[in-house]
Amino acid sequence: MQNRIEAIINQSIEQHQRLHAISAQIAAAAELMIEALEQGGKIMFAGNGGSAADAQHLAAELVNRFLLNRRPLAGLALTTDTSNLTSIANDFSFEEIFSKQVEALGRPGDVFFGISTSGSSANIVRAVAAARAAGLVTIGLTGLKGSLQALCDHCICVPGDYTPRVQECHILIGHMLCELIEERLCA
């Protein structure tokens, strides 16, 4: 078992090292998010499963704090309102649980930040389309595959396809974005 643990740690380290190749993608996403917040917009996060947890985590880091005691920043997880989620899924479809919220809450100048390890979650794809139609900037956080890369204004594509390691990189990238946002807007 100890050998397997060491192998997993080494896999994680190797996957994290690959992020150097996409540091420009991460920086560009941070700039888009900072610009939206500076202009009075908000960041709307969504994802499924573990990515839903990441969406909630990152929204909380913006609203409350990441590292600094500072003013709240406008972050919103579209994954938390069970009444909205279940009524939309029941009355329309699960694929529309985020797009309907984007249509109701999104405004030009806001950012929709969709997290999908596969890059092809149908409800994230629909939300991106709704966000673009409403004039929002769209950012995707994915692995190497899926249609989000072509649909989003900007996509951070983690160079890997092994789900656990890609998801580990997603939360690291989310933390990087929060740190960069705080440094720029609140330091």
Based on the structure, what is the number of domains in the chain? 1
* Domain limits for position 71: 2-186
Instruction: Name residues of the chain where pLDDT drops below 50.
Output: none
Give the domain CATH number at 98: 3.40.50.10490
Question: How far apart are alpha carbons 143 and 23 in whole angstroms?
Answer: 15
What pLDDT does residue 146 have?
85
Task: Decide: 122 and 95 in contact? Cβ < 8 Å.
Answer: yes
Q: Which residues contact 149 (CB under 8 A, 6 or more apart)?
A: 119, 140, 142, 155, 157
Q: Is 111 exposed, middle or buried (0-12, 13-18, 19+ CB in 10 A)?
A: buried
What pLDDT does residue 187 have?
79
What pLDDT does residue 69 have?
94
What pLDDT does residue 145 have?
85
What pLDDT does residue 93 have?
98
What's the pLDDT tens digit per position in 107-144? Answer: 999 999 999 999 999 999 999 999 999 999 999 999 98
What pLDDT does residue 20 have?
98
Question: How far apart are alpha carbons 87 and 34 in whole angstroms?
Answer: 33
Name the residue among 142, 153, 65 with its Cα closest to residue 109: 153
- pTM for the model: 0.97
